[in-house]
């Protein structure tokens, strides 16, 4: 899977914009768009994983393959690699969005508490 989002660059952008709520909001919206993009990719990958399990688990055999074995076999496929990368990317985007929200909330609270 070709990497489409530059997560380290987004991290640097967030640090540079830590005192700029408008810029943080813009970054957050962009990240939300990327999140939707990667979440859509997960649908196909999860369906491919289900098909893989159906083909490789041997449900009808006397002794089906163990879940850890089938999971390991899935992870070494091209689609398994894509799924791992997509899951990690989604997780990182989620953490970045959460940190932006926390920063914006902190800035809002500081503005409310400051003397006028």
pLDDT, tens digit, 9 for 90 and up, residues 58-110? 888 889 899 999 999 999 999 999 999 999 999 999 999 999 999 999 888 88
Q: List the chain domain ranges.
A: 21-105
Which DSSP string corresponds to 9-29?
Answer: HHHHHHHHTTT-HHHHHHHHH
Question: pTM for the full model?
Answer: 0.84
Cα distance from N-terminal residue to C-terminal residue, the chain: 52
Asked if residues 96 and 10 have their Cβ atoms less than 8 Å apart, the reply is yes
Q: In this model, does residue 2 exceed pLDDT 80? A: no
């Amino acid at each position: 899977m070709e990497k489409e989002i530059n997560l380290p660059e987004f991290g640097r952008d967030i640090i540079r914009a830590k005192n700029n709520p408008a810029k943080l909001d813009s970054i957050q919206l962009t990240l939300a768009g990327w999140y939707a993009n990667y979440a859509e990719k997960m649908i196909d990958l999860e369906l491919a994983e289900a098909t893989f399990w159906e083909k490789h688990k041997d449900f009808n055999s006397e002794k089906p393959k163990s879940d850890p074995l089938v999971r390991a076999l899935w992870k070494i496929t091209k689609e398994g690699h894509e799924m791992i990368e997509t899951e990690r990317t989604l997780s990182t985007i989620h953490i970045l969005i959460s940190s932006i929200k926390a920063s914006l909330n902190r800035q809002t609270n500081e503005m409310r508490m400051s003397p006028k």
